[in-house]
């Protein structure tokens, strides 16, 4: 993290034991499986600015941070979404949980969604010009449609589609 000057890093598909680990969010029972799907790693600066945390199962964790601007919080939501092969009801429940977390944030706060949603969004941004650029991946998958619909509702932007990284 120091080498690249990162303050918040998302780790997915984690397998933590209880020894020597600091857990954010819910505590697990003594004999619970040693697995957590997503976890933040924080620099000292980020730990000092951390306001708290809220876990929504093992797939979503919210970590709010104080900013230098009084009254404005930076909410980092880290997630690991179910794949397109998962049960549709489970995928819908994931997106409903994600939406319920985002909906709790006051509009003036900064919200960053960070994670792997197993999505592909299209290059044709017709109807989505306000939230995405023209540099999607060509053919949209089911999770891509769910993902794209989440953003305009929350007045957010899909940043990976704004610039051509090819």
Model pLDDT for residues 133-159, shown as the tens digit of each residue: 555 556 666 666 676 666 666 666 555
Q: How high is the pLDDT of residue 49?
A: 92
Q: How high is the pLDDT of residue 162?
A: 47
Measured in degrees and rounded to the nearest 5, phi and psi for residue 101 equal -70, -45
| Confidence at 66, pLDDT banded by 50, 70, 90 | very high
Model pLDDT for residues 26-52, shown as the tens digit of each residue: 444 455 454 547 778 888 899 999 998
Of all residues in the chain, what percent carry a pLDDT higher than 70? 54
């Amino acid at each position: 993290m120091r080498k690249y000057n990162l303050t918040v890093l998302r780790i997915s598909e984690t397998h933590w034991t209880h020894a020597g680990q600091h857990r954010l969010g819910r505590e697990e029972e003594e004999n619970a499986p040693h697995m957590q799907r997503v976890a933040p790693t924080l620099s000292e600066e980020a730990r000092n600015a951390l306001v708290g945390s809220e876990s929504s199962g093992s797939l979503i964790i919210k970590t709010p941070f104080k900013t230098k601007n009084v009254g404005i919080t930076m909410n980092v939501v880290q997630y690991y979404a179910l794949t397109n092969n998962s049960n549709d009801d489970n995928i819908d429940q994931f997106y409903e949980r994600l939406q319920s977390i985002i909906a709790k944030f006051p509009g003036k706060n900064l919200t960053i969604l960070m994670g792997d949603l197993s999505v592909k969004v299209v290059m044709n941004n017709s109807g989505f010009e306000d939230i995405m650029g023209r540099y999607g991946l060509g053919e949209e998958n089911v999770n891509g449609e769910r993902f794209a619909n989440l953003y305009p509702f929350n007045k957010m932007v899909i940043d990976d589609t704004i610039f051509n990284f090819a």
